[in-house]
Structures are given as structure tokens and as C-alpha cells.
Amino acid sequence: MKSNKMKRAVKLSALGIVMLLLFVLLSWVMQYTAISSETHVRNFYREPENTLDVAVIGCSEMYADYSPPIAYDHYGFTSYNLAFEGAPGHLYSSMLDTFVSRQKPQVVVFEVNGFFYNNDHPYKEGVKRKWLDSMKKDKLWVEEIKKEVPEGERSPYYVGLLKYHDNWKHPMMLASRQYLLWQNSKGDVSMMKSFGTRTTTDSAKKKTPKRVHKLKEYGITNITATMEHCRELGLENVLFIRTPHKDKLTPEVDEELKKLITDAGYDYVNFENDENIGIDEKMDYYNGDHLNVFGNEKNTIYLGKYLVDHYDINTTHDEAVDKQWHECAEYTYKVFDELKKKTLEEEDDQYNEFSDLSEFTEKLKKKYAEFKNSDSAT
């Protein structure tokens, strides 16, 4: 009798474990936020611990405007763009915590665009999920959910299937995501260290509205909080930057930003009007907020030189690290050569670090874009 009860208990336990594993698998497969944001964040965790010299944190400007492998090729320091589209400034502290949980950056660079969101954008569920859904499921993730999500609304963040269960209606979208994640997972690390662009000098598909940037309460509060957090962490080399944009900050806003940051003891540089970068307004942007690959290369070389000229960065690495980064740089140059050709042809298509430029992937990307932009997509 006891033996039968034991067997039944074992069978029920095994069934429970199988159901739990299936639930976790479905939660993963059904998830859909934004594939580019997902890969930009997830790839950070693939970097070997304590191998990154510079932390780069911000919105899409950073992965569009700056290439860590090209900076390494020119100046020898390693870095990573921990950035995603529309990243709001109040999440910068969490992004910094994630970075320093695995790395010991000698310099931290923040792009300030995330502090200029003055509507409800920073607190939209879709914006929060780009970060929370892509984080490693660790203590920092749990703490950030508690911080960002009201208590009664947290379950769908912990259990993704509660949010994404209806996505079974869009099998092509889910299949595209899985394929692109598989492409993205090839190799030990991301070869381009978080990258995204469009192959055009003036995108008709991804235009940005003209904005008059003002530093309002949200920005002031969260810049201050970010700097206080840097001080809590004992970080000394912290640089806030404004990357090149077509819509420039007004001198008044620029001065207000500079005073707020420098009075707190940190560094600020606005590169928008720096002619030494060599940015061609007609050729080096893909829209008003983002550089294309031509502008990216110019800006990377200039920003990289600024960093080594102003901060004492130790660029000594293990032989294996240098070997891997040389391979990343070589790969990045090859991709840039292809993307430059496509840009001159005004293809106006989107590319990320997982793009392999093969014909099959090109077709799949177009299908993915169609589903993403359709009214029925979740």
C-alpha cells in the first residue's frame, strides 16, 4: 500500500515538474516586447565578467551612434552599449546597477536623451517591459519590478505567460523572434556589442518629430538621482554626453544641463555642435535623432579619443579578451562596409547586431517588420 502511494506521489511530482517546465517554456516562447531591445540587453550578460573598461548607458542614440568594436580598434579600451530604444532616464540607475553587477567600468558614460521625456512615456508598460522582460531573472530584476510596478500588477511581470498568452495567434511573429534570437546567440558574445541602424541618409520609414527639448521636473529629478547613485557606488569617472542630433539643444537648455551636472562634480560634453567630429548633416544621419553607419564611425572615433584623452583608462587585457575583441572589430568593419553600400543606395531598412545580411534573413526581417507594424500584432 505504501509502495503504491509512493509511486503515485512520484508520478504526480514528475507530472508537476513537467507542467512547470512547459509553463516556463511557453512563457519564454510567447514573449514579445521588442526584439532589438531584447538582444541589446540580453547580449550584455554574455560578456565575460570584468572585461569591460567603459560602461555606455542610454537610449537608441548610443547603439546607433557609437560602436564599441571600432573604438577598441582605435584606442584599445573595451565597452558595451547597455541601451535600448526610448530608455527613460529614471531607469538609468537600474541599468548602471546591472552593469556594475558584472563589470568594473573605469568610466561610465550616460547619454542624456532619456532625461528629456516630459510626457507619460517613461512609465508606459511597453517601455518598462523593454527593460524588465530582458533583464536576467536575478535579485536586481525582482527589486526593479517592486520599484517600477504597483503591487497588484506584478504577477504578469514575474510570469510572462499571463501577459503574452494571446501571442499564439501570431505564429510567424513568434517564429521570427525565435529565429532572430537564434541568429543572435551564435558565438560566445555579441560581435557588435549592441548596434542598430537604418540604411539611408534620410529615412522615409522612421522619421522623428521635431522636438524642442526642455529640462523639466522629470529630467532634473532623475539626473540628480542618477548622479547621487553614482556617488553611492563610489564612481568617480562619470561623463554625461549629448550625441550629435539634427535638432540641437538650445544654448539655454545646454547651459542648464551643464550647470546641473558639473555642480554635482561630474563631467558633461555636448557634441552636437562640435565640427571636429566631421558630421555631414546631409549624409551622416538616418533621421533627426540618429546617425547612420557613416556618422557612427566618425562619432565613435571622436568620442573614443575624447575618453582616452580625458580619462586614464587601463587598456591591458588578457590575451583571450584581446583576441576576441580583434575578431569583433574585424567583423564590425565588414558589416559596416556592407551597410555603407546599402546606405548609399538609400535602402532604408533596419539592421541590428544579429543581422547576418543573408538573403534568407533579409526576407525574414521584412516579414517580421510587416507583423510588427500590423494592427493585429500584440
Confidence at residue 377, expressed as pLDDT on a 0 to 100 scale:
39
- Interval 137-188: pLDDT, tens: 999 999 999 999 999 889 888 876 545 545 544 455 555 665 666 666 667 8
Confidence at residue 21, expressed as pLDDT on a 0 to 100 scale:
46
* 152 domain-assigned: yes
- pTM, two decimals, is 0.84
* 368 domain-assigned: yes
**Residue 161: domain span:** 35-373
* 102 domain-assigned: yes
Give the CA angle between residues 266, 272, 274 to the nearest 5°.
90
* 12 domain-assigned: no
Q: What is the DSSP string of 100-130?
A: HHH---SEEEEEGGGGG--SSGGG-HHHHHH
Closest CA to 245 of 274, 225, 266, 204: 274
* 229 domain-assigned: yes
Residue 27 has pLDDT above 90, yes or no: no
Spell out the residues 6+ positions from residue 228 whose beta carbon is closer than 8 angstroms to its own: none
CATH number, domain of 48, equals 3.40.50.1110
* 350 domain-assigned: yes
* 330 domain-assigned: yes
What is the number of structural domains in the chain?
1
Residue 205 has pLDDT above 60, yes or no: yes
Question: What percent of the chain has pLDDT above 70?
Answer: 77
